[in-house]
Structure 1
């Protein structure tokens, strides 16, 4: 997808804010203390769950994650949706993506639909100054790390 020079003005966070599908994710980014990461100069590919995607979490899970005591766990979940570097839907050529969280997330293309983890990309290639956003239909949760 090409855009004319100068049309991509905002960073990832600003771009998310102009799209009404990501208000829950923006709130989670804020509560996790990660707004500076998405507003900085480093290039990222963000697989952002839409507001509808959060409704698929078990009852009470989102409220629990948003509590200040669970900030680290929330940051871990958000970082599991973030990949270093700017990748448009050519990411579908990969078998997996190494997330900022540190774990890999499986990637597949079936019937022309791109998926990461158990989430399908529903809003691909939303370009921002410091990366690209792919809206997804489910919140992917990283595997629990042993204590």
Structure 2
């Protein structure tokens, strides 16, 4: 009887090991857009696998920023979802993706990137130190204001638009991604 139980337990562990290993690999780093985000991969290598960020990836390619965001960084990227892009006025994304609008597209995308790796914990410390807000400079040179609303971190853009961080601290080999629900506009 003991031998049968031991054999059954061994068989069960052999069946379950791959599933548990997959779970453990993702532990500490969230899934985004149905895909595992690996801290050993760079921003681009992870972003291309997210079903929620296909518009952002297309925009990054159109702006010629793939090489930059694949580089050593580190970068903090506030990554709008496809739904965030869908909230823009009709035709905006298509217009931005045209080659003649590459400069405008680049300005919008680099407004979502901050030099350095800033985790949500560090952002909260900056907000607290700033008595409720932190003004951060993006790589475009423009400013974003970070605040807390309840338990959420929000970003206020130059036009007064507000984006909420929906998934924080998606660690990358060259920085960190925070998923947001709106496109920020300089």
Settle same-fold status: TM greater than 0.5. Answer: yes
Q: Deviations over 1:2-34 (max 9, x none)?
A: 67xxx6211011111122211100000000010
Q: Over aligned residues, Cα RMSD in angstroms?
A: 1.4
What is the rounded CA distance, in whole Å, between the counterparts of 1:114 and 1:93 in structure 2? 11
SS at match of 1:53: helix
What residue is the counterpart of 1:109 in the other structure?
148
Structure 1 position 12 matched with structure 2 position 43: yes
Higher normalized contact order (CA 8 Å, seq sep 6+, divided by chain length): 1
- Higher helix fraction: Structure 1 or Structure 2? 2
1:36 alignment counterpart: 67
1:63 counterpart SS class: helix
> Which structure 1 segments of 5+ residues have no match?
143-147
Greater shift after overlay, 46-55 or 16-25?
A: 16-25
Q: Which sits farther off after the overlay, 69-78 or 11-20?
A: 11-20
Pairing partner for 2:166 from 102, 107, 122: 122
Q: Give aligned pairs, total.
A: 139
Larger radius of gyration: 2
Which sections of structure 2, spanning at least 5 residues, go unmatched?
Answer: 1-26, 30-37, 127-133, 157-161
TM-score normalised by structure 2 residue count: 0.72
